[in-house]
Amino acid sequence: MDKSKSTSHANFYALSRTQTIQKYAYMKYLPMLGRPMKRTLMVDDNVRSFPLNPRHGIKIDSFEPDDHLMQYFARKFHDSGVRKPINTIHAEMLGDGLDEIKSELNRLASDSALLDILPMLRAVAALGPNDDVSRELDH
Protein backbone atom coordinates (compact mmCIF):
# COMPACT_ATOMS: atom_id res chain seq x y z
CA MET A 1 0.00 0.00 0.00
CA ASP A 2 1.25 3.47 -0.87
CA LYS A 3 1.58 5.22 2.51
CA SER A 4 1.55 8.63 0.83
CA LYS A 5 -2.06 7.99 -0.30
CA SER A 6 -3.29 6.68 3.06
CA THR A 7 -5.99 8.59 4.93
CA SER A 8 -5.42 6.74 8.21
CA HIS A 9 -4.12 10.02 9.63
CA ALA A 10 -7.48 11.74 8.99
CA ASN A 11 -9.96 12.05 11.86
CA PHE A 12 -13.46 13.48 11.72
CA TYR A 13 -15.24 15.19 14.60
CA ALA A 14 -18.66 16.76 14.96
CA LEU A 15 -18.66 20.05 16.84
CA SER A 16 -21.98 20.86 18.45
CA ARG A 17 -23.17 23.75 20.57
CA THR A 18 -21.35 22.31 23.60
CA GLN A 19 -18.00 22.82 21.84
CA THR A 20 -18.63 26.49 21.14
CA ILE A 21 -17.86 29.67 23.01
CA GLN A 22 -21.17 30.95 24.34
CA LYS A 23 -19.72 34.37 25.17
CA TYR A 24 -19.08 34.89 21.44
CA ALA A 25 -22.54 33.86 20.19
CA TYR A 26 -21.62 30.16 20.07
CA MET A 27 -18.66 30.55 17.73
CA LYS A 28 -16.69 27.39 17.18
CA TYR A 29 -13.16 27.43 18.53
CA LEU A 30 -11.20 24.60 16.96
CA PRO A 31 -8.33 24.55 19.51
CA MET A 32 -10.92 23.13 21.95
CA LEU A 33 -10.49 19.85 20.08
CA GLY A 34 -6.90 19.60 21.25
CA ARG A 35 -5.77 18.82 17.70
CA PRO A 36 -2.96 20.60 15.81
CA MET A 37 -4.50 23.53 13.94
CA LYS A 38 -2.47 22.79 10.82
CA ARG A 39 -4.36 19.48 10.66
CA THR A 40 -7.85 20.88 11.35
CA LEU A 41 -10.64 22.15 9.08
CA MET A 42 -14.27 22.94 9.80
CA VAL A 43 -17.21 22.51 7.41
CA ASP A 44 -20.26 24.52 8.47
CA ASP A 45 -23.27 26.31 7.06
CA ASN A 46 -23.20 29.13 9.62
CA VAL A 47 -20.81 32.03 8.99
CA ARG A 48 -20.91 32.80 12.74
CA SER A 49 -18.87 29.63 13.29
CA PHE A 50 -15.77 30.94 11.50
CA PRO A 51 -14.51 34.25 13.01
CA LEU A 52 -12.26 32.56 15.58
CA ASN A 53 -10.78 30.19 12.95
CA PRO A 54 -11.07 32.04 9.61
CA ARG A 55 -8.30 30.08 7.82
CA HIS A 56 -9.80 26.75 8.80
CA GLY A 57 -13.43 27.07 7.71
CA ILE A 58 -15.31 25.85 4.67
CA LYS A 59 -18.75 27.44 4.25
CA ILE A 60 -21.46 25.31 2.66
CA ASP A 61 -25.14 25.93 1.96
CA SER A 62 -27.63 25.05 4.67
CA PHE A 63 -29.23 21.64 4.71
CA GLU A 64 -32.73 22.11 6.03
CA PRO A 65 -35.11 19.17 5.84
CA ASP A 66 -38.78 20.01 6.30
CA ASP A 67 -39.20 19.08 9.97
CA HIS A 68 -42.91 19.92 9.91
CA LEU A 69 -43.47 17.35 7.17
CA MET A 70 -41.49 14.73 9.10
CA GLN A 71 -43.44 15.45 12.30
CA TYR A 72 -46.75 15.30 10.42
CA PHE A 73 -46.03 11.82 9.10
CA ALA A 74 -44.60 10.62 12.39
CA ARG A 75 -47.91 11.58 14.05
CA LYS A 76 -49.88 10.00 11.20
CA PHE A 77 -48.04 6.69 11.60
CA HIS A 78 -48.32 6.80 15.39
CA ASP A 79 -52.04 7.65 15.35
CA SER A 80 -52.78 4.92 12.80
CA GLY A 81 -51.53 2.23 15.15
CA VAL A 82 -49.66 0.59 12.27
CA ARG A 83 -46.94 -1.68 13.58
CA LYS A 84 -45.62 -2.88 10.23
CA PRO A 85 -42.19 -2.09 8.85
CA ILE A 86 -42.26 1.20 6.98
CA ASN A 87 -41.68 -0.45 3.59
CA THR A 88 -44.95 -2.42 3.86
CA ILE A 89 -47.21 0.57 4.50
CA HIS A 90 -49.53 1.29 1.60
CA ALA A 91 -49.54 4.62 -0.22
CA GLU A 92 -53.28 5.02 0.51
CA MET A 93 -52.50 5.51 4.19
CA LEU A 94 -50.36 8.52 3.36
CA GLY A 95 -53.15 10.10 1.38
CA ASP A 96 -52.49 13.53 -0.07
CA GLY A 97 -49.17 13.73 1.75
CA LEU A 98 -47.53 11.29 -0.64
CA ASP A 99 -46.91 14.06 -3.17
CA GLU A 100 -45.41 16.21 -0.42
CA ILE A 101 -43.08 13.39 0.59
CA LYS A 102 -41.96 12.86 -3.01
CA SER A 103 -41.36 16.58 -3.45
CA GLU A 104 -39.34 16.81 -0.22
CA LEU A 105 -37.28 13.73 -1.10
CA ASN A 106 -36.52 15.18 -4.55
CA ARG A 107 -35.48 18.48 -2.97
CA LEU A 108 -33.20 16.73 -0.47
CA ALA A 109 -31.76 14.48 -3.18
CA SER A 110 -30.78 17.54 -5.21
CA ASP A 111 -28.79 19.05 -2.31
CA SER A 112 -25.19 19.02 -3.49
CA ALA A 113 -23.44 21.17 -0.85
CA LEU A 114 -21.19 18.37 0.39
CA LEU A 115 -20.71 16.86 -3.06
CA ASP A 116 -19.52 20.25 -4.31
CA ILE A 117 -16.63 20.29 -1.84
CA LEU A 118 -15.80 16.59 -2.15
CA PRO A 119 -12.81 17.09 -4.51
CA MET A 120 -11.26 19.54 -2.06
CA LEU A 121 -11.93 17.23 0.90
CA ARG A 122 -10.29 14.36 -0.98
CA ALA A 123 -7.26 16.54 -1.63
CA VAL A 124 -7.08 17.42 2.07
CA ALA A 125 -7.40 13.76 3.10
CA ALA A 126 -4.58 12.83 0.72
CA LEU A 127 -2.15 15.32 2.28
CA GLY A 128 0.63 13.96 4.41
CA PRO A 129 0.34 13.94 8.21
CA ASN A 130 2.72 16.91 8.51
CA ASP A 131 1.13 19.10 5.81
CA ASP A 132 -0.93 22.19 6.66
CA VAL A 133 -4.47 21.38 5.52
CA SER A 134 -5.59 25.02 5.61
CA ARG A 135 -3.32 25.71 2.62
CA GLU A 136 -5.59 23.51 0.52
CA LEU A 137 -8.25 26.20 0.94
CA ASP A 138 -6.03 28.61 -1.02
CA HIS A 139 -6.61 26.66 -4.24
What is the predicted pLDDT for the residue at 9? 59
Instruction: Give the amino acid at 70.
Output: M
What is the predicted pLDDT for the residue at 5? 56
Domain ranges of the chain: 3-63+113-138, 67-109
Instruction: Judge whether residue 7 has pLDDT over 90.
Output: no
pLDDT digits (tens, 9 = 90+) for 67-123: 777 777 777 767 766 665 555 555 555 666 677 777 877 888 888 888 888 898 889
What is the predicted pLDDT for the residue at 132? 93
What is the predicted pLDDT for the residue at 86? 55
Of 16, 59, 11, 14, the closest CA to residue 39 belongs to 11
